[in-house]
Amino acid sequence: MEDLFRITKPSARMASLPYGDNQDYLDEEMQWLNGCIALQLAMNSIEDENDKARVYQRYARVLEDWRQHIRSRSKISMDQGVYLALPYLVDTFMLSELEMQAIMVCLAMELDRKYEAAYEVLQEDNGLRLPTPEFIARLISRSEEQWREVIELFQPNRALPRFFLRKDLKPVRQQGSYIGKPVQLDARMVIFLSGNPFLADSMIDFCHLYLGEEELPPLMGNEAVQTRLRNWMKKRFEQNLSEPVSLIVSLYGKPGIGKRLHLIHLANHIGEYLMFADCEKLVRKGRDLSEWLTELFREAAIHRAMLVLLHFREALEEANMLHRLPDLLDEIAALNYVVFLLSEKPCLPFDENRRIMLEIELPDLTDRERLETWRKAAEAHAVDPAVDWESLSTRFPFTPGQIVKAIHMAEELARWDDPEADNPVIHWHHLINACYKQLNHKLEQKAKRLKPKHSFDDLILPEPQKQKLIHACNHIRYKHTVYEKWGFNRKLSYGTGISMLFSGPPGTGKTMAAEIMAKELDMEIYKVDTAQIISKYVGETEKNLQEIFKEAESSYAILFFDEADAIFGKRSEVKDAHDKYANTEVAFLLQKMEEYRGISILATNFLQNIDEAFLRRFNYIIRFPFPDEAERERLWRHIFPEETPLQELDYAFLAQKLRLSGGQIKNVAITAAFLAGGAGESVGMKHILKAYQYELDKYNRPVDRKELGDYAALLDEG
């Protein structure tokens, strides 16, 4: 074995030259280690104490020459930018030279199996091929004081056992104190020390590094927060230049608000790197966040990056571990490192020991910031100049992340429409569709989504009422101008949306009018059956309404409450406790309508049932009268599609004699079409009158044959 471990003096000629690479450096470290082993072998073979002392001094001088030689070449190499993994880690973790030598003893056996055999022989224990702290101290120390220093390095709270050694190593036999227990380098450290500087394979799935970029994506909103954060971090760093610092910063806000981007801008400004670790992914893989903290910190330290724990609070909530947040903060504080916690909600309320030094909210964008973000995000794309960015930014209260995703999706929709174009033009309808695809709500569980097909030309309504509907649409179109540019948002704490009341008999066009507004404004519309949300249980109605408006807030949809009489009824006069509570339900509904930033519409058949005190809370009240004769004729002339084969119809007669609402005329027209289709005929008067008879049957009303005059005979035809 002595032949394998010989020691020679280092080359004086090489002392002033840098190492060629990491392996070149490791070769010389193992030359030094060979000398340490050769010394132990020599001491074991010499019995005379004087000879031992003489040999020991000769070996010790050569070994010190090697240390000086390695120190010199390492410094030259690092100064010239040659990457040496072990000196890099020594500097990163602020290790002593004895710690570096102890690491080298453990690393050598991972690189060359001859060291396993040597360790077994020198420890005089058959099968014990891993070094123990006692053996490492004997191998690398040159005095009793150094021996004690080396032994102390393996205490549980020191850097070697915390960051460099395996924690799951099972002893082959019962050992006494920790100095006799075998130790082995953690696999991650072996890979890194061997010259692989990349992110650990075990962390690729849930970690990524930010190591600086030449061109950063622009900040989108909350620039004032960024400026204050930079100044704060700069002062904190200046106050802690000489020693490690425990610095925990919590940053919270909605998903997509820009938390990561703000940290990237911060790191770029102060010249630091970042390592992002997704806590939710860790938890979903069944891993204990507490057990991974040390490894995450070690990986961040290896790359000299500040550690960022993404979805920190959400991960704990998902794992039902929120109660452990104070303990985790204690563990993070013990790392003496800069750690950022990113969450949707604040962590400070759970910080019992006040470990979080600073907690910052990234608030929602203002209308002005959102408008600017849309324009910034669109700069790199071909967009139709006619796109109204102000309307888009007012309509969708998006975060920067949602805006960027919407722009990219709109481009894909444009490419679908024009597959030949290299740079397709994004139009308004692409953006609207893309925006609605960003929304994540559950409104369809509470309401029915309508698909508008009509336009204002299809709506038969007196001109004053139609003008009110147009003005209501403009209320939404020009919100940005009135509230933002003209300053009305400073006058109002809430109520920037529109609340409307449609009243009139059934079938007079209330639902159609709501659909037309949705189509004119390119908005989704959801029809809420008010009777379904009313509950006899106290508080249940309010709960249902709360859920509907909460889901609608992110969608900016039109909420159409049909059959509102179910909640209003005749309740202006309070006679008992039930009436009093019912009025509370009405007040709650109207309050939520006022707070809602979109459009909410109530439809009722009986306006007289609503207390006048409630009426003032609507922006628009539109009455839908029963159509007069002229309006009924217009309805009859427009009800049949162009493709429908028609006989000669007496529109004037139908309008005069068939006193029907618009909804009833639609029902009669459709039934007549099926009657004609079944008979293989064009739609004629006999089909319409037969369908009219069926319509009256619904209400148990007979047809007045005298009113029909000569046309009455058509009812008797098959």
427-458 pLDDT, tens digit per residue, is 999 999 999 888 877 787 778 888 888 888 88
Mean pLDDT rounded to a whole number for the chain: 87
- Pairing relation of β-strands 599-604 and 498-503? parallel
Q: What's the pTM value of the predicted model, to 2 decimals?
A: 0.77
User: Is the Cβ–Cβ distance between 585 and 553 less than 8 Å?
Assistant: no
**pLDDT for the residue 528:** 86
Helix boundaries (H) for 97-176: 97-111, 114-122, 133-140, 144-152, 159
| Confidence band of 494 (pLDDT split at 50, 70, 90) | low
265-308 pLDDT, tens digit per residue, is 999 999 999 999 999 999 888 878 888 888 899 999 999 999 99
Above 70 in pLDDT, residue 253? yes
Residues with Cβ within 8 Å of 531's Cβ and at least 6 positions away in sequence, in order, are 563, 566
Name the DSSP class of 558.
E
User: Is the Cβ–Cβ distance between 564 and 601 less than 8 Å?
Assistant: no
Above 90 in pLDDT, residue 712? no
Name which of 160-174, 483-497, 534-548 the model is least confident about. 483-497
Query: For the residues 134-149, what does the mean pLDDT come to?
Result: 94
| Confidence band of 99 (pLDDT split at 50, 70, 90) | very high
Sheet with 358-361, side-by-side order of all strands: 207-210, 273-278, 305-310, 338-343, 247-252, 358-361
* 86: its two tokens: 């072990």
**pLDDT for the residue 447:** 83
The tally of CA atoms less than 13 A away on the side-chain side of residue 605 is: 8
Sheet with 599-604, side-by-side order of all strands: 448-450, 525-529, 558-562, 599-604, 498-503, 620-623
C-alpha 367/C-alpha 488 separation (Å) is 13
| Confidence band of 171 (pLDDT split at 50, 70, 90) | low
Query: Exposed, middle or buried, 92 (CB in 10 Å: 0-12/13-18/19+)?
Result: middle
Distances in Å between the Cα of 683 and the Cα atoms of 273, 640, 678, 697, 711 are 76, 10, 11, 21, 15
C-alpha 525/C-alpha 575 separation (Å) is 37
User: Is the Cβ–Cβ distance between 220 and 113 less than 8 Å?
Assistant: no
3-state secondary structure 181-196: CCCCECHHHHHHHCCC
More confident site: 533 or 187: 187
Name the DSSP class of 311.
T
Above 60 in pLDDT, residue 575? no
Coil, strand or helix at 562: strand
Query: For the residues 487-503, what does the mean pLDDT come to?
Result: 74
| Confidence band of 51 (pLDDT split at 50, 70, 90) | confident
- Pairing relation of β-strands 305-310 and 498-503? unpaired
